[in-house]
């Protein structure tokens, strides 16, 4: 079997590595950057710091700091216009998944002239496009190393997946110091997203020895440090471990794709504006319980790597511990239920057929070890709101 392994051409990992941004740009042969920054990062002065680093190397950068959470086609088109107007030759993303996905999609749109909607899956976008250098400020979506970007189609209220080497950053600068100010909720949500990437890589029908190694490393790092990073934000060791764990998880999932958790989570995020990691967390125990009979040895490996199961536990025992361990992690990280988040039950139930349609259309449920029928998928959505009792 041949595995196709795609990574950025350069990944810098370590505290203070952001100072090397000018060297990275020079190695890519570019020097007119547009910095696409999360507005919170800009307010904290981090975008100005990046401009200073660039200026000291004789490079003049501009900043776009109007990134929206859950990037939209409208926002991506606005950034693409700024790239063209400013004559920029590289996009530097500074922020979490929203800033990085905006930068990636805008670089593709600016280079190809196509609309975000024209780029969505099942199309694979492998065109050569202007480089993106990603500096993640969360640990994290892994977007700095993945070949995917998620952009919401504003008119259709649909999260579109853009997939292909065009969406793979040319370089990633993984500097955990950028995450030291990340608040509890964001640390928890993005950390669970990273955990989900590693889990979905490990149990994926497209899994490979390469992705397995990275996924297991990620699960060990995240299992050992997520709660500490969230609860003691100034713990540098926990932040550093989470940053590496999130990057390993991203490298793993970029080469396998996601599975049912993401397929189910994206429509919830699109319709009810639940942050991505949080909607993953909400369905993580449920989808794990549904899926684990189809690959108990894979789920057992995950449980052991996360530290949820004794290394000597047999596969069936270790795998069976996972759903409740995830539920306990959610409680510890104060993950609300769909109802507690404020999602109205009637509207949610009415939208289940459309969420099932969008979830299946994304293709990722087909990567799950147990592939749900449309009826099972609908039942999972119902259980995500009402609990796992009999249908009302
Ligand atoms: Fe994700």
Q: Give the pLDDT confidence score for residue 180 in this predicted structure.
A: 96
Cα(52) to ligand 1 centroid in Å equals: 32
Strand bridging mode 62-64 / 10-13: unpaired
Cα(64) to ligand 1 centroid in Å equals: 24
d(CA 288, CA 284): 6
Q: Give the pLDDT confidence score for residue 70 in this predicted structure.
A: 87
Cα(148) to ligand 1 centroid in Å equals: 10
Q: Give the pLDDT confidence score for residue 391 in this predicted structure.
A: 53
pTM of this structure: 0.93
Cα(78) to ligand 1 centroid in Å equals: 24
Residue (of 87, 89, 84, 82) closest to 63 by Cα position: 82
pLDDT in 10s for each residue of the chain, 392 residues: 888 899 999 999 999 999 999 999 999 999 999 999 999 999 999 999 999 999 999 999 999 999 999 899 999 999 999 999 999 999 999 999 999 999 999 999 999 999 999 999 889 999 999 999 999 999 989 999 999 999 999 998 788 889 999 999 999 999 999 999 999 999 999 999 999 999 999 999 999 999 999 999 999 999 999 999 999 999 999 999 999 999 999 999 998 989 999 999 999 998 999 999 999 999 999 999 999 999 999 999 999 999 999 999 999 999 999 999 999 999 999 999 999 999 999 999 999 999 999 999 888 999 999 999 999 999 999 999 988 765 54
Cα(200) to ligand 1 centroid in Å equals: 10
Cα(193) to ligand 1 centroid in Å equals: 5
Q: Give the pLDDT confidence score for residue 1 in this predicted structure.
A: 81
Cα(378) to ligand 1 centroid in Å equals: 21
Cα(349) to ligand 1 centroid in Å equals: 24
Q: Could you list which residues have their CB under 5 Å from ion ligand 1?
A: 193
The dihedral through the CA atoms of 44, 50, 53, 58 has a sign that is negative
Cα(249) to ligand 1 centroid in Å equals: 10
Helix axes 209-231, 236-254, angle to 10 degrees: 150
Cα(266) to ligand 1 centroid in Å equals: 9
**In the chain, what is the straight-line distance between the N-terminal and C-terminal CA atoms, in Å?**
46
Cα(252) to ligand 1 centroid in Å equals: 12
Cα(70) to ligand 1 centroid in Å equals: 12
d(CA 292, CA 140): 25
């Amino acid at each position: 079997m041949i595995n196709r392994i795609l990574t950025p051409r350069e990944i810098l990992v370590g505290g203070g590595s952001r100072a090397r941004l000018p060297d990275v740009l020079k190695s890519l042969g570019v020097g007119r950057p547009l910095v696409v920054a999360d507005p919170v990062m800009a307010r904290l002065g981090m975008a100005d710091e990046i401009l200073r680093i660039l200026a000291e190397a004789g490079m003049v950068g501009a900043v776009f700091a109007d990134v929206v959470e859950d990037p939209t086609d409208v926002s991506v088109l606005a950034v693409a216009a700024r790239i063209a107007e400013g004559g920029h030759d590289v996009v530097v993303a500074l922020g979490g998944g929203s800033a990085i996905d905006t930068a990636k999609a805008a670089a593709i749109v600016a280079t190809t002239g196509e609309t975000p909607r024209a780029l969505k899956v099942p199309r694979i976008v492998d065109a050569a496009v202007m480089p993106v250098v990603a500096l993640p400020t969360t640990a994290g979506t892994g977007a700095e190393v993945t070949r995917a970007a998620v952009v919401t189609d504003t008119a259709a209220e649909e999260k579109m997946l853009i997939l292909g080497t065009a969406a793979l950053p040319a370089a990633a600068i993984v500097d955990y110091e950028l995450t030291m100010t990340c608040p509890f909720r964001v640390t928890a949500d993005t950390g669970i997203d990273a955990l989900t990437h590693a889990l979905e890589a490990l149990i994926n029908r497209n899994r490979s020895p390469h992705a397995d190694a990275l996924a297991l490393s990620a699960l060990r790092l995240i299992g050992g440090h997520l709660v500490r990073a969230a609860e003691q934000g100034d713990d540098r060791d926990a932040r550093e471990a989470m940053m590496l764990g999130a990057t390993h998880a991203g490298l793993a999932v970029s080469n396998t794709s996601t599975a049912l958790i993401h397929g189910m989570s994206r429509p919830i995020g699109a319709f009810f504006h639940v942050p991505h990691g949080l909607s993953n967390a909400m369905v993580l125990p449920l989808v794990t319980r549904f899926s684990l009979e189809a690959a108990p040895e894979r789920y057992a490996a995950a449980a052991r790597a996360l530290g949820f199961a004794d290394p000597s536990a047999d596969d069936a025992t270790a795998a069976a511990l996972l759903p409740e361990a995830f539920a306990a992690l959610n409680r510890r990280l104060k993950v609300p239920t769909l109802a507690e988040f404020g999602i109205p039950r009637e509207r949610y139930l009415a939208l289940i057929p459309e969420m099932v349609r969008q979830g299946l259309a994304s293709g990722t449920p087909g990567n799950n070890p147990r592939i749900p029928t449309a009826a099972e998928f609908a039942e999972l959505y119902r259980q995500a709101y009402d609990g796992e009792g009999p249908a009302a």
